[in-house]
């Protein structure tokens, strides 16, 4: 599967260790664009025909109405740790994420909390989670599953986390891709 990851420069400061760890398991192309305006231009101008999956490492709320540009990407996955704003009543994005994700169409969203992922799943959204702060050098018990196993981002925790952050048995997963 040919995968492209498109990261905004601000988000990449946080997610770089995650993508470095992912390189140990699967090959992908990775481009960095400047903030959300650069992401919009990139998605509008790029020929994605050579890719099976595109991961947008960005924050939808910063894209605003420009999120429409994401519709062009095949096998779209949005990696966004700001989706918790969906449940913040003072946020302009309060209760807006599900309708935006439905408007994008076929999309998987990766969020930072298990309860949020479960909530979105109950609303019919293809959602999974990966906690913030992944660092392969620190999180030795966490790993990506390889090509011979179930596809997706997989984390197995060696130290129990707070119950609200783990699924049954402390396993966090993004299911088959």
- The pTM assigned to this predicted structure is 0.77
Tell me which DSSP letter residue 111 carries.
Answer: E
Query: For 5-17, what is the mean pLDDT?
Result: 89
Tell me which DSSP letter residue 97 carries.
Answer: H
Smallest Cα–Cα separation from 43: which of 3, 15, 72? Answer: 72
Smallest Cα–Cα separation from 67: which of 76, 9, 75, 126? Answer: 76
The confidence score (pLDDT) of residue 98 equals 95
The confidence score (pLDDT) of residue 152 equals 44
The confidence score (pLDDT) of residue 12 equals 86
Smallest Cα–Cα separation from 22: which of 1, 43, 5, 34? Answer: 5
Q: How many domains is the chain partitioned into structurally?
A: 1
120-164 pLDDT, tens digit per residue, is 999 999 999 988 766 666 655 555 554 444 444 443 333 323 323
Smallest Cα–Cα separation from 143: which of 133, 132, 153? Answer: 153
The confidence score (pLDDT) of residue 36 equals 65
Concatenated DSSP letters of 119-142:
HHHHTT-EEEE--TT--TTT-TTB
Q: Residue 37 sits in which domain range?
A: 3-173
Where residue 55 sits, what CATH number does that domain have?
3.40.50
- Convert 32-70 to b/e letters by CB count within 10 Å (16 or more is b): bbeebebbbebbeebebeebebbbbbbbbbbbeebbebb
Query: For 23-30, what is the mean pLDDT?
Result: 92
pLDDT band of residue 110 (cuts 50, 70, 90) is very high
61-85 pLDDT, tens digit per residue, is 888 899 999 999 999 999 998 999 9
């Amino acid at each position: 599967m040919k995968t492209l990851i498109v990261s905004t420069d601000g988000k990449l400061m946080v997610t770089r260790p995650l993508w470095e760890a992912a390189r140990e398991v699967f090959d992908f192309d990775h481009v960095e664009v400047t903030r959300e305006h650069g992401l919009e231009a990139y998605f509008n101008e790029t020929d994605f025909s050579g890719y099976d999956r595109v991961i947008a490492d960005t924050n939808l709320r910063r894209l605003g109405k420009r999120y429409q540009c994401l519709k062009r990407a095949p096998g779209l996955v949005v990696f966004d740790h700001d989706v918790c704003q969906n449940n913040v009543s003072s946020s302009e994005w309060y209760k807006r994420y599900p309708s935006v994700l439905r408007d994008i169409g076929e999309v998987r969203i990766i969020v930072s909390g298990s309860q949020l992922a479960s909530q979105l799943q109950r609303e019919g959204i293809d959602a999974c989670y990966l906690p913030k702060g992944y660092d392969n050098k620190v999180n030795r018990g966490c790993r990506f599953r390889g090509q011979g196993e179930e596809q997706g981002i997989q984390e197995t925790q060696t130290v129990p986390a707070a119950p609200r952050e783990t699924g049954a048995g402390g396993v966090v997963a993004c299911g088959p891709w």
